[in-house]
Structure 1
């Protein structure tokens, strides 16, 4: 039978200074271990599952003798019940560490998501829009909330006040919150349904956006004023004015024009090929160049050190506001993007060109999946005729404009 250790008092324990293991009694196997540096800690030596194990109980004097005995007795009770207190503690620590690693706030998930998806943003403006809407609306409500605790009530607190008055912004914000929460679920930071999902969930609680939102079109120059505007624009010097002129003649988007590069231009073929990464639909787009567009390009200077056609500072593309600022200086109540509407109105009201040619000129996505599957070409030759007609129209007085028939197409006979 093993010798039972003499039970020491608190004062006796405090006087132990010799390195080694000192049995203190009171609980079988309870020892105070002292290392060579003089540090003291409590250890329980016990047989666990047939093996002798040492279980740490904390340092002395932070853990008093009475507390060490209490912990030792609790551990012995677990061993007696067939449990392994050391393994149980390791599992608890592991679970706590795992929970801590998953304890991410919504804001932390936003930051991590933005970083992880940095290569997918169409442009810096798109990324900034994501960040600004989440910062403005979601952050004040649940930015500091652990992402696994974000619930329906919090999502509605964000969305309901702005849903009727800023419907488009609110709808986009909802989708962005849903995306962040989906990302957090995929990373293991939360479980369960997404409280920001629309179908079968928020669509039952919020009005459908298309039922309450008012469509606000881009302010556009009237068709009959296009020629006068272009005349005024050509009197203005600077690359911003030339970029706007090129955008008008090609019916291109501002971003496509500002990012245009000389290698994309084939002067011989009279075609500008916009790469997929700069297109809204992420599909390469060929733009036929009219005589006026080609003349504009031929008169532009080539800036050394950059292949950007309309460079701003340090050879980089012009800023997003450069074309808008140009129109503001002309005191015209319209925006650059509105000229795409002007072009579309001209094509439908002043010409006989089919709708699909005008839509393709604008690089609009084909809504019909069946039509998209069967359409292989881009109608470049027919679009070249239309873009030349558009450029010609923009150079003559509105009263001289007439219906422009599509080449090779005879007017239909009217049946009485």
Structure 2
């Protein structure tokens, strides 16, 4: 052992009074009056004397302090400042620690273009934000395993099953996003968590809908010309989902055809063509009224900014004491088609914007049944306005 090194002992470290004591080679112990102490290393780099803290005696043993001092002296011999090198390594380590929240936000931003309304309103991110990130957001994504996921979703697995499933699925997307970034993650963690959570006891309930014979009475009550009333009228007349309806723009309507961009249709892919909706005479009258209230190009603007919310229409029906909700009018239309017309299945499903048939069948079938749907929606409008509207047979061509 070189002379002048390792002057202290483990016993002396504990028993020495307050003061500064050298262990040799620039390693010092600073004992405080309260019995605590701090290790530090004195060194000279580029002609400048510096002191580098190595931790407290409560956390760092004498042996560990000597090891840290040896490493720092090796850095000095390489003509580098060990304090700056330690700070640099800490910054690099911090960059390598990717927290789940950062990964989730990055995954959300990457997917926004394909999320339609869910991306614009941030709804895709909501299940994660509310139920996962408060507990796991600050956890490095590489450290997350199935038990972490199980623990965070167990409280809502049965009581809020749909939300829990969305959170789990989107967490799986975040893990795949992390893997694509080159991070070491367990891509099976969500499926393992699903096995730990077990089968949900929650029973999926269909959205309540008005029976089709009762829809005309409700339609007639929507008579004050407000944005909410007009939006509900066009929703009922066309059978579209509330998302495309709420974001309907005046420039999407050409003559008696409303063209909904393909990316706005639920379940559609970027390559899917736009969806054409034939507008009945009654629907065109509603559109004309809505144009007078349009703002920013949107037919159904919100009172404050943006467009009317889905909740606005739902709350309107709730205040009227109804169990049915806006989305349920799609079921009303589908039941009317099934019970009062002879419309073929593919036409009835296309009325609702559903994808019909396999990929090969769709490749050969180029029609969207626009003219047949035009006849059906005109008859539906007659039914809604109390003028009959039963159609017993329509051909698929």
Give the TM interval when normalised to the shorter protein. 0.7 to 0.9
Report the Cα distance in structure 2 between the residues aligned to 1:110 and 1:408, rounded to whole angstroms. 46
Residue in structure 2 matched with residue 164 of structure 1 by the alignment: 158
Query: How far off is 1:205 after superposition?
Result: 3.9
Corresponding position of 1:260: 248
How is 1:225-374 mapped onto 2 (pairs within 5 angstroms)? Answer: 225-234=214-223, 236-267=224-255, 270-282=256-268, 283=272, 284-303=274-293, 306-313=296-303, 316-366=306-356, 368-374=358-364
Cα distance change on mapping 1:131 and 1:408 into 2, 3 Å: closer
Q: Residue 193 of structure 1 is aligned with which of 169, 183, 186?
A: 186
* 1:42 alignment partner, SS class: strand
Tell me the residue number matched to 2:7.
none
- Which residue of 2 is the match for residue 152 of structure 1? 146
> In 2 relative to 1, CA 95–127 (structure 1 residues): closer, same or farther, beyond 3 Å?
farther
Q: Higher mean Cα deviation, 88-97 or 173-182?
A: 88-97
The answer (yes or no) to whether the contact 1:291–1:388 under 8 Å persists in 2 is yes
Equivalent position of 2:59 in the other structure: none
Q: Mind listing any 5+ residue stretches in structure 2 that lack a counterpart?
A: 5-23, 27-41, 55-65
Q: Structure 1-normalised TM-score?
A: 0.70
Match of 1:107 in 2: 101
SS at match of 1:59: strand
Cα RMSD after superposing both structures: 3.8
CA displacement at 1:258 relative to structure 2: 1.9
| Larger CA Rg, structure 1 vs 2 | 1
Query: In the alignment, which residue of structure 2 is the partner of 1:222?
Result: 211
* SS of the residue 1:307 aligns to: coil
Could you list the per-position Cα deviations for residues 110-162 of structure 1 after superposition, in whole angstroms to 9, with x for gaps in the alignment? 34444454544423677543443223322343233222211121111123343
SS in 2 for 1:306: coil
Inter-CA distance 74–305: structure 2 relative to 1 (3 Å threshold) = closer
In the alignment, the residues of structure 1 paired with residue 67 and residue 152 of structure 2 have an alpha-carbon distance, to the nearest angstrom, of 48
Unaligned runs of 5+ in 1: 1-6, 8-25, 31-40, 45-53, 64-69, 410-416
- Structure 1 position 340, deviation (Å): 0.4
**Shift in alpha-carbon separation, 1:78–1:179, aligned structure 2, 3 A:** same
TM-score by length of 2: 0.73
Q: 1:252-282: per-residue Cα shift (whole Å, max 9, x none)?
A: 1122122112211122xx2111112322234
Verify the 8 A CA contact 1:220 1:335 in the aligned structure 2: yes
Decide whether the 8 Å contact of 2:344 with 2:395 is kept in 1. Answer: no
1:333 partner SS? coil
CA pair 233-186 structure 1, distance change in 2 beyond 3 A:
same
Match of 2:215, SS state, is: helix
**CA distance in structure 1 between the partners assigned to 2:394 and 2:377 by the alignment:** 11
Deviates more, 1:321-330 or 1:236-245: 321-330
Matches within 5 A, 1:42-121: 42-43=43-44, 59=50, 74=70, 96-121=90-115
Distance 1:191 1:238, change over 3 A: same
> C-alpha distance in 2, partners of 1:195/1:146?
17
Q: Any conservation in 2 of the 1:104–1:147 contact (CA below 8 Å)?
A: yes
| Secondary structure at 1:194 match in 2 | coil
From the superposition, tell whether residues 293 and 99 of structure 1 become closer, same or farther in structure 2 (CA, over 3 Å): same
Q: Within 1, Cα distance between the matches of 2:214 and 2:68?
A: 92
| Equivalence for 2:35 | none
Separation in 1 of the partners of 2:69 and 2:390?
101
Following the alignment from structure 2 to structure 1, what is the Cα–Cα distance between the partners of residues 248 and 205? Answer: 28
- Match 1:387 to one of 360, 368, 377: 377
Distance in 2 separating the partners of 1:280 and 1:152: 30
Aligned 8 A contact 1:121 1:127 in 2:
no
